[in-house]
Amino acid sequence: MLFTLGGVATNVTVVLWAVTRHREPGTPLDVDVLIQGLGEAITPIGVGFTILAFVWVLIALGVRKAHDAEA
């Protein structure tokens, strides 16, 4: 969970740096690039919670199997 938040923070930092760094002075920020970058920056959240859900399913199956063996 902590790695997921760290990944998002790093990605958002890179997106904001790139959007402000690669523009001509005096021109407005490119909002399309900013929105696309932020959309890609939250990818670690989806991956992290998918892995977390998969691990919890494995734990639930293991607990169920352990209780079935006792019966």
Render pLDDT for 20-32 as a digit per residue (tens, 0 to 9): 887 788 888 888 8
Overall residue count recorded for the chain in this entry: 71
The whole-angstrom separation of Cα 52 and Cα 43 is: 14
Task: Look up the pTM and report it.
Answer: 0.67
In tens, the pLDDT along 34-64 reads: 899 899 999 999 899 999 999 999 999 999 9
Which amino acid, one-letter code, is at 17?
A: W
DSSP E strand boundaries for the chain: none
Taking CA atoms, 42 is separated from 36, 38, 68, in Å, by 10, 7, 40
Q: How far apart are CA 17 and CA 53, in angstroms?
A: 32
Provide the 10 A C-beta neighbour count for residue 39: 10
